[in-house]
Amino acid sequence: MDSNQIVKFLSSVTRNNNRAWFQEHKADYLAAKAEFEGGVSQAIERIISFDAEIANVTVKDTTYRFYRDTRFSPDKSPYKNHFGAYINAKGKKALRGGYYIHIEPDHCLLAVGGNWLPTNILTSCRNELMANEQEWLRCVQSEEFLHFYDAPDDADWHSPQGFGFTKLKTCPSGFPRDYAHVKYLRLKDYCAWHKVADSFFAESDWLDQMEQMFRAAKPMMDFMNAVIDDYE
């Protein structure tokens, strides 16, 4: 995937986010879009090799509109400044975790897991990790997981890597505050991410590197998906 071409286009959009400019450069958009979708197709094929659940997922199932919904946003810029693909066996709007590819100038990343879980499902996930503590710790304290996703507790979307985009400041209500692994109870999502260079997806071995990162977090995702799937 020629991510350099994609990043160049997205950088231009960031500087010229208006309809007149976009119409003049529609061919550049279509070329960047096609390049991204070709890379997503390659990624899906690679992920299938270790996660058969997504065998029927197509590129169209994973990508998003480039046009922003500005109805409820103070930012009226008509176009996004990134391309994203969420590879999930149950679709982009599913609660269960999946694999995410994000290309944005100076903020490219790969992510694994689920986000925006309702409180009742979060409670079930927290109960499950306490009930099966050792299995959970094998998932999130493995050498591979820590290599790609270990980070300070205050890590967020802009951090180089991390686990849990949003966290409670204290232990959730109804759970023991003195629990040895309370930091996992404070998570409001189970998403692990790792930032990569803008040129990452243009490297000859990017699929191999992606597979390493996704495999490292898959046990964590599978653990939580076993709970989340009961609600879908």
Q: Over its length of 232 residues, how does the chain's per-residue pLDDT go in tens digits? A: 999 999 999 999 999 999 999 999 999 999 999 999 999 999 999 999 999 999 999 999 999 999 998 888 888 899 999 999 999 999 999 999 999 999 999 999 999 999 889 999 999 999 999 999 999 999 999 999 999 999 998 898 889 999 999 999 999 999 999 999 999 999 999 999 999 999 999 999 999 999 999 999 999 999 999 999 998 7
Question: How many Å apart are CA 37 and CA 43, to the nearest integer?
Answer: 10
CA pseudo-torsion sign 26, 28, 31, 33: negative
Backbone angles phi, psi at 224, to 5 degrees: -75, -35
Spatial contact of 96 and 232, defined as CB atoms under 8 Å apart: yes
Backbone angles phi, psi at 102, to 5 degrees: -130, 120
Pairing outcome for strands 190-196 and 98-103: unpaired
pTM confidence score: 0.95
* Residue 119: partners with Cβ closer than 8 Å, 6 or more residues away: none
Beta strands per DSSP E along the chain: 83-87, 98-103, 108-114, 161-163, 190-196
Structure tokens, 207: 């699929």
